[in-house]
Amino acid sequence: NSISQVFLLSNAKNCPQRLSMKSSQEQNSDTDMSSVCMEPSDSQRNLHHHHLHKQSPESGPVSSASATLTDSNSGVVKEPYMNPVLFKFLFVVGTLVYSSYTILVHLMEVDGAIPWSSSSMVLITEFTKLFLSLGLYLPEARRLGRFELPSPRGAVLYLVPALLYALNNNLAVYIQLQMDPATYQVLGNLKILTTAVLFRLIIKKPLSQIQWASLFVLFAAGVSNSWGGLQRSTGAPDINKASTLHITPLGLFMISAYCTVSGLAGVYTEYVLKKQPALNINMQNALLYVFGVAVNLLTFVVQARGRSDSSFDLFRGFTFLTWVLILSQAIGGMIMGVIMKFASNISKLFLVSAAMVLTTILSVLIFHLQLNIYFFLSLVFVVVAQYMYNM
């Protein structure tokens, strides 16, 4: 029930509008309702915005569970609220889920290959997300007496992130074969660079000079780790072992494309979620996953027809760990949607960075990963960059 309550949180923007249509006498008689839904006074709003100026959601991974929205009528910035304790809980769970992905994929490798189709795994994950989102939305639908849907034009907006995420989800699987888990997580932090640039270009999000400097430090972290991985992979008899730091030239290209598409998908998804703030987050997630199922179903059919046996067996090569991976990725995807609506992509990227550290620890414990000086140097760069970004 507590998890369901978290995902059912949404911005009840209609309350202020309904109250504003009442007379002052009616508002005074509805004391209980006005205490919940009535707009704050100008002095309260100014005080709240002064606090937000000092401590914005981007000031840290869990400093605020609010998503910045702009009222189309007054232009006043409003903050849909989520309980900070619940937000921190989601942040921790999301970190655990994100860090487990690459570990689980490597545990399922057979002779350096994945025994199941990436398209089938992603398709079933999207089905699972859709099922869970609709299940969490049902209590809200019963309360409203109907399913709250956007206009057809508004619904189409969810197609673009579905296409981008479908591309990246499949790409993420094959990247694992070109590098070890720790290298994947460290280079994955380049999402911070691509996301920040796209924020500036698309959402016009300003960055301070020290924040731009931190992005160059983060770039140095990627270069350091990539150079170390290339040094280790040169002449190595088996570069697919998870216990050795490595990255191939193809892996370097794939992770660059992955980070760029990931940044674009995240920025656009946050834009869509906050463009319709009154729509329940579970319904918004369901819309994303409806298109996700359609896109990934087409991808699966194309890949199945291209195989020599033309097999359409969705579950070929699946094991218990595959189902663990699917369930964890479904839960993680839904958590990311909540974070992007009630916080920002920056908070999501801090989660990714925290997962990098946890993945490295797990790789050492499970795969006996051997760390070299380049990895430690890049890890220091990442920590310094994150500190600078939040100064």
> And the tokens for 171?
């790409």
Report if residue 68 sits inside a domain: no
Report if residue 257 sits inside a domain: yes
Name the amino acid, one letter, at 152: P
Percentage of the residues of the chain whose pLDDT score is greater than 90: 20
pLDDT at 8: 40
Q: Is the pLDDT of residue 123 over 70?
A: yes
Which position has the higher pLDDT, 255 or 200?
Answer: 255
- Residue 195: partners with Cβ closer than 8 Å, 6 or more residues away: 262, 263, 266, 267, 345, 346, 349
Report if residue 53 sits inside a domain: no
pLDDT digits (tens, 9 = 90+) for 34-89: 333 343 444 444 444 444 344 443 334 443 343 345 544 443 334 456 788 988 89
Report if residue 241 sits inside a domain: no
Instruction: Kindly provide the b/e burial profile for residues 6-16, where b requires at least 16 CB atoms within 10 angstroms of the residue's own CB.
Output: bbbbbbeeebb
Q: How many other C-beta atoms can be found within 10 angstroms of the C-beta atom of residue 229? A: 29
Mean pLDDT for the stretch of residues 103-120? 87
pLDDT digits (tens, 9 = 90+) for 346-363: 778 778 777 877 887 788
pLDDT digits (tens, 9 = 90+) for 142-188: 988 888 888 888 888 999 988 898 788 778 878 888 887 777 767 77
From 249, 243, 204, 206, select the one nearest 227 (Cα to Cα).
249
Report if residue 207 sits inside a domain: yes
What's the Cα-to-Cα distance from 120 to each of 116, 132, 177, rounded to whole Å? 8, 18, 18
From 179, 360, 335, 341, select the one nearest 254 (Cα to Cα).
179
pLDDT at 181: 75
Name the amino acid, one letter, at 100: S
pLDDT at 277: 82
How far is it, in rounded angstroms, from Cα 12 to Cα 80?
Answer: 8
Report if residue 2 sits inside a domain: no
How many structural domains are present in the chain?
A: 1
> And the tokens for 91?
């942040």
Residue 264's domain comprises 84-106+116-142+150-233+246-390
Q: Is the pLDDT of residue 125 over 80?
A: yes
The whole model's pTM is what? 0.68
Cα 91 to chain center, whole Å?
11
> And the tokens for 72?
């189309």
Tell me the pLDDT of the chain averaged across its residues: 74
DSSP state of 40: P
Report if residue 379 sits inside a domain: yes
Which position has the higher pLDDT, 204 or 336?
Answer: 336
How far is it, in rounded angstroms, from Cα 39 to Cα 41?
Answer: 7
- Angle subtended at Cα 355 by Cα 179 and Cα 268, rounded to the nearest 5 degrees: 90
How far is it, in rounded angstroms, from Cα 72 to Cα 206?
Answer: 21
Residue the block writes with tokens 């290339």 = 230
Report if residue 382 sits inside a domain: yes
